[in-house]
Amino acid sequence: MADHPKDIRRRRSRRTQPILSNRAGGDRWWQAEPLGTMAVRKTLRFRDADPFERIWWLRSFVVAMSLTTPVLLVLGLYHSQIRSRLMDWTASPVEQAQHYLERGRTTDALAALQQACDRSPNNPELLRALATLGAETAPADARRCFHRLEKLDLATAEDRAAHASLLARLHDFSGARAVLANLPNDSQETPTVLRARLAICRESGDFYAAADALDKLTAVVPDDVDTSLDLAAAIPGGTLTAGVVERIETQLVTCLSHWIDMGRGSAVLDRAPRLVGLTLTSKTGRTQLAKILRSLPGDPVEYRMAAVRLEFPAALSLEDDQMLHRAYLAEITRSGGLPAEDKDRVAAYLQDQGEHEFVIEMIAQPEALTEPQLFRRRLASLLELGRWRETGAMAAADDAPPVTHSRAMLRALAVLQGGAGQGIMAEHLLLDALSCAREERRAVDCYTTGCAALDNYLPDLASNAFASALEFAADRRTAMESIIRTTRGKGLSAATLLRSLEGGAVLRDESIQDKLIYLSLLAERQVDAMKELIQSRRSKAQGDVYLRFLESFALHQQGAYVQASQLLVPLPKYQWHQGEAAVIASIMASAGKLESCSSLVAQIDSSRIFKEEKALVEPWQVRMLAETPLLSNAGTHSQR
């Protein structure tokens, strides 16, 4: 106590003067319960960091998500398959077939309807559905369904019209006409029946009756473009009179104009690829179709180019061809230049028209190396023309993109284009190229290999390559013309070329019979049989100029020179090659009309024709050269 300051002691003594027990209501300190010690916990509880313990519902949520997520993923990935299975269990056969057709599963749709018809053979709805679907994919099943409907006496006029159209496609024309004959009179002029009659006429080749049926149909349905388009596409070239062809083409462009006026330009645009593939001959039809193509929505440049082509005649002369190329260039210039995509579409159209020279001019090699699609277009045109050296130069470029042609052929052309490969090396490379091209069945690769073989003095290999190209070609007539044009003046005789074609199926192809007959007459093989074949073909096509030329040539080979020359007078205009002109000049000169054909003989270049053609015309060229100095000397004798 003595250690504490006094003021503190005084302050404490003052604070303790009142006695707590003397206060009213106060408890005495000795009566209060004594404080005890707190019980010590035997376990320590810290704050839990586990979220599943803190949030009680989180564990249930995670478990539920882990179970439902795989189910949702499976449903999302295999939704279409699950829906298809459900449709298989629940839908009717017709709905099930429609479901398959929406997904392009035609075979499954056909199988479903066949099974349903087997279970219910008298159900008219199933029979009609199977007949409609099977008309294109299973004509035998469709035919049985139509006959079943007839037997059940449930066939309607539409069913009979569809039945007749099917029989017409199968060339059962008498059966098709018999089906339509059973229709009542009030159904004979309905659009479906008229379309069926038109299909019978079209498939049977009676285009005169088809034109009449088309006139009746357009009187009822003025905008039936598809029927008119099918008929116009089926017209054979050069066998019908101009009046019938013009009627059909006029009806087509009238229907198309009706669609344009109704605002259905998009529908015309969908059919534009087929329209530009038509070979219209009438001037009116070509002019109107050109206007329609220029009015298509979007103004596609490839169809404007097609309109340019329609403004020229179908058969082009040399002057027309030059003017057409200038018109093409003017159209491209008006477009302000073409991007790569538009140029690709234009090149595709020009290649369909055989304008490969213009495609090569339009797409230069440096530009082609920057755009893969343009590279392929230019390369394809070079191959079609047989310009194998330029093809090899493009294939040898370091930045050349991959192409779909034979790699062995491109490798051979790349090696040979510089003139490095000669003799055995060239033969080995080209044999390998031809083998690969034949294995891949690529006609244009075989043709280009043949051109390279000709330039490398391998005529036997070239003839085999050309025979393979003709075998695999889709358009054998064009391929045959290209082969004959290429082989003239290249050391390959007509007899060798004809020998390479023997034993192949191409000899029975009607589209190249005229050229095969010409080669046979040149090689002096089966002349009598060729003459009979020519006369038989001429009886079916009286106005064919080339057949008249072939008959004259056959008579000349038989020794009837005067009669042969009479067939050539007068000779209509035709795009004669120099080799054919040499034969014509020889026929006229053999009949004693050398003076009338002297100008023609003088224009013939013997280095650009077959050896057989050269053998025919060369004696007359020598005679003319021998007689010319004599005439000149006779005129100047007095001066000497």
Q: Could you read off the pLDDT of 216-249 as tens digits, one per residue? A: 999 898 888 999 999 999 988 766 777 888 999 9
> Mean pLDDT lowest for which of 437-451, 493-507, 551-565?
493-507
**470 with 500: CB under 8 angstroms?**
no
pLDDT tens, residue by residue, 338-368: 899 999 999 999 999 999 999 999 999 999 9
**132 with 163: CB under 8 angstroms?**
no
- Quick one: what percent of the chain has pLDDT higher than 90? 43
21-35: average pLDDT: 54
Query: What is the distance of C-alpha 335 from the center of its chain?
Result: 26
The more confidently predicted of residues 55 and 444 is 444
The more confidently predicted of residues 29 and 524 is 524
pLDDT of residue 88: 54
The more confidently predicted of residues 224 and 54 is 224
pLDDT of residue 605: 85
Residue 577 binned pLDDT confidence (cut-offs 50, 70, 90): confident
Long-range contacts of 402-407 (CB under 8 A, 24+ apart): 402/372, 403/375, 403/376, 403/379, 404/376, 405/379, 405/442, 405/444, 405/445, 406/433, 406/436, 406/437, 406/440, 406/442, 406/445, 407/436
DSSP per-residue codes, 107-144 = HHHHHHHHHHHHH-TT-HHHHHHHHHHHHHH-HHHHHH
pLDDT of residue 167: 93
The more confidently predicted of residues 333 and 94 is 333
107-123: average pLDDT: 83
pLDDT for residue 394 is more than 80:
yes
Residue 632 binned pLDDT confidence (cut-offs 50, 70, 90): very low
254-278: average pLDDT: 92
* b/e per residue 240-258 (b: at least 16 CB within 10 A): beeebbbbbbbbbbbbbbe
> Mean pLDDT lowest for which of 25-29, 143-147, 426-430, 441-445?
25-29
**517 with 532: CB under 8 angstroms?**
no
380-391: average pLDDT: 93
**179 with 147: CB under 8 angstroms?**
no
**426 with 457: CB under 8 angstroms?**
no
120-142: average pLDDT: 86
Model-wide pTM > 0.85: no
Tell me the residue length of the chain.
640
Token pair 């052929």 in the structure block, residue: 409
The more confidently predicted of residues 96 and 172 is 172
**254 with 225: CB under 8 angstroms?**
no
pLDDT for residue 5 is more than 80:
no
* b/e per residue 121-143 (b: at least 16 CB within 10 A): eebbebbbbbbbbbbeebeebbb
Alpha carbons 181 and 174: distance in angstroms, whole number:
10
423-428: average pLDDT: 83
* Rg of the chain in Å (alpha carbons): 44
- Distance separating the N- and C-terminal Cα atoms of the chain: 178
pLDDT of residue 34: 60
pLDDT for residue 13 is more than 60:
no
Average pLDDT of the chain to the nearest whole number: 84
**324 with 309: CB under 8 angstroms?**
yes
pLDDT of residue 43: 58
pLDDT of residue 72: 80
pLDDT of residue 29: 52
pLDDT of residue 604: 86
**448 with 391: CB under 8 angstroms?**
yes
Alpha carbons 168 and 346: distance in angstroms, whole number:
37
pLDDT of residue 539: 86
pLDDT of residue 30: 54
Residue 47 binned pLDDT confidence (cut-offs 50, 70, 90): low
313-334: average pLDDT: 88
Residue 24 binned pLDDT confidence (cut-offs 50, 70, 90): low
pLDDT of residue 638: 31
Residue 631 binned pLDDT confidence (cut-offs 50, 70, 90): very low
- Quick one: what percent of the chain has pLDDT higher than 70? 85
- Who contacts 3 (Cβ-Cβ below 8 Å, separation ≥6)? none
> Mean pLDDT lowest for which of 125-129, 294-298, 374-378?
125-129
- Who contacts 526 (Cβ-Cβ below 8 Å, separation ≥6)? 520
pLDDT of residue 201: 93
The more confidently predicted of residues 92 and 514 is 514
Alpha carbons 344 and 448: distance in angstroms, whole number:
23
161-188: average pLDDT: 90
pLDDT of residue 26: 52
